[in-house]
Chain A
Amino acid sequence: TQLLEQSPQFLSIQEGENLTVYCNSSSVFSSLQWYRQEPGEGPVLLVTVVTGGEVKKLKRLTFQFGDARKDSSLHITAAQTGDTGLYLCAGVPSNSGYALNFGKGTSLLVTP
């Protein structure tokens, strides 16, 4: 059973477009993290959201944590080819220890 469901699974857009990817769960999470993974490399942490309703901005990326701490979204404004990669959300369920659970990811391709 996948604790974190990400959608869409694949996304192909052109440079300059906006996009949103979603990370949903029926479980409550203590915090959620977003990572980006490029081919041949390990995931790299983008942001951690901790408080329900929290919004964090990282340049053109906006991350939101749901009020109930069960979901999160990542919005990219004016996508660039350098944004191409696999976006993963990960969280520690409130009723567990330190095991970070990952969603299957959204594979984003940004073309010129």
Chain B
Amino acid sequence: KAGVTQTPRYLIKTRGQQVTLSCSPISGHRSVSWYQQTPGQGLQFLFEYFSETQRNKGNFPGRFSGRQFSNSRSEMNVSTLELGDSALYLCASSQGSSYNSPLHFGNGTRLTVT
């Protein structure tokens, strides 16, 4: 079974630009969550989608948005990039049937904002 795939692996953007990151979950998994990981703050929850609906949202500004397609693939978008958005963005999928469902993470997209 293929794991969670995130593309691209690395991105370099300039402040003020926007970026779209992609995540393909494990086949059959209906929940996709996004996390931002930085050395200072650790993993911080961005949002979670289940069957194309945003089910949970973390405390991030509106510049961070996401969506999920009917095939469970998900994208997240960050507009008007700031230097502080430089981070590892991790996507995780789960069957989503309960909060005990284990998360399966991709290897992340490393975003650098200059």
Contact = CB atoms under 8 A, between A and B. Distances in A.
**A and B together in one complex:** yes
A105 to B, nearest CB: 6
B100 A98 contact: no
Could you say which interface size class chain A belongs to? 20 to 34
Contacts of B45: 99-102
Contacts, number: 64
B4 interface: yes
A101 B35 CA distance: 10
A76 B112 CA distance: 35
Contact of B58 (A40, A41, A44, A99): A99
Contacts of B90: 42-43
Interface of B: 4, 31, 33, 35, 41-45, 48, 50, 55-56, 58, 90, 92, 96, 99-100, 102-108
